[in-house]
Structure 1
């Protein structure tokens, strides 16, 4: 599937801002599941733009606007080809035993997915040694989707997993952080994925950057699961990057001097 993405971020200030530094994490990942055909980053006013790979391998653009301004536009346009996926075959949970040491950073607590009794809090029975890992992940994806409500505005980036478990409503970040917490506690290496979603009208979370997770399945590598939509991450999912949680792959973040009051507008459009 060929997808075109236009991601626009606009900052407006009540007073002059200057010396604005922003990290822009919007360049799609190139891997066996997707091919990047093109990418263009437009910044207004004029900016100095450099790139570097982050710790997890994503290409990050560093944007520095020197001059005074009251409006900052950062627009990323991408064209990506995505390919079909094959559901993972049955795999015993115990097959993970030899792999965990190499991916320990995706098993330990992180700032937004701290240590906790997440399986108990979310009513999940931990898998046994002979449990089918692929089936467990599929069932966990369905459970979160069915028991929680997707509700924009119900949470924000500071909402804790305990608050999400109580309110039973949130956005894709919350669904993903919850599944990450459960997976890590029971011993399944799992990482947070930031990206885009082509909806066609039938999927949730396509109006902004989307979030899902990748779990490590022996013999298959990292397999994407989207609990917000109760599905595997397939052709309609475009991956930007991954990390321990949202904080590692937030789309745009930065600092500036001055500015007074600030207003932020973000729009995402994914076309086929």
Structure 2
């Protein structure tokens, strides 16, 4: 499947700031399930800085904007060819050992209710356990846009019984780590489907380590494993760690952010030539 991405993030400041520094995870992962045909990241009035591939195999790029500036626009456009890998991440070059992903964060810390949920799942093997945990999270948290905030923790979302993809991913990570499975948060894109489906074009899911298979993705919000509709950008311990854009503005000023993301089937090369 060929997917076209159009992703625009606009930052506005109540008063001009002296400058902005950003760190981006906005380049699709180099793995067997996806191939980049074209990809471009641009920052209005920005200067591209250093870039490197981190221990998890993600491409990190720095940008700076000199002030005074009152608005910054980050634009991402490209085309990625994807293949359904049944959720299994293959070909990702990383050097961080799986056990490192057992570390919890405030967003993924399990409380007593979540520990009980995790212990309620029984399975004959690790893969079955991973699927069972994902199904449990899907039942525990109903997809409800606007029910939670960016700072909502996994425990709070489970107690509320509602949330979005970020909450499903955080909760699954928490349950998996409770059962001794390394788990991590993944940010990326998802092709929009039929109306009413529990998904967003800017999407998130979890990857769990299954011995013998490696990292396997689970999207509890949509009750499936990532397939050809998904584009993987990067991973981290939680949403904040895996955020596609992180930044600091120099100078005190109120900041607002608007995001527009579109993922559509890309026209075939033959159609483009006609």
TM-score (norm. length: structure 1)? 0.86
Gap change, CA 1:124 and 1:259, over 3 Å in 2:
same
The DSSP-based 3-state class of the residue aligned with 1:230 is coil
Is contact 1:29-1:239 (8 Å) kept? yes
Contact 1:126 1:186 (C-alpha < 8 Å) held by counterparts: no
Contact kept in structure 2, 1:5 and 1:268, CA below 8 Å = yes
SS of equivalent to 2:80: strand
Cα separation, 1, equivalents of 2:13 and 2:74 = 15
Superposed displacement of residue 111, structure 1? 3.5
- 1:147 CA drift (Å): 3.4
- The CA RMSD measured in Å over matched residues stands at 2.2
- TM norm structure 2: 0.85
1:139 corresponds to which of 129, 132, 143 = 132
Instruction: Please state whether the residue corresponding to 1:47 is helix, strand or coil.
Output: strand
Match of 1:236 in 2: 229
Structure 1 residues 133 and 118, CA gap change in structure 2 (3 angstroms): farther
Aligned length: 257
In structure 1, C-alpha distance between the alignment counterparts of 2:161 and 2:225, rounded to whole Å: 22
SS, match of residue 177 in structure 2: helix
**Aligned residue in 2 for 1:210:** 203
> What displacement does 1:119 show?
4.4
Judge conservation of contact 2:168–2:221 (CA < 8 Å) in 1: yes
- Residues 147, 118 of structure 1: alpha-carbon distance in 2 compared, 3 angstrom cutoff: closer
Tell me, what secondary structure is at the counterpart of 2:178?
A: helix
Unaligned runs of 5+ in 1: 89-100
Aligned-partner Cα distance in 2 for 1:118–1:212: 22
**Rounded Cα–Cα distance in structure 1 between residues aligned with 2:22 and 2:170:** 25
Match of 1:122 in 2: 117
Residue deviations 1:40-59, cap 9 Å, x none? 01211243443222342211
Is 2:15 the counterpart of 1:21?
no
- Consecutive unaligned residues in structure 2, runs of 5 or more: 89-95, 266-274
Is 1:108 the counterpart of 2:106 in the alignment? Answer: no
SS for the counterpart of 1:187 is coil
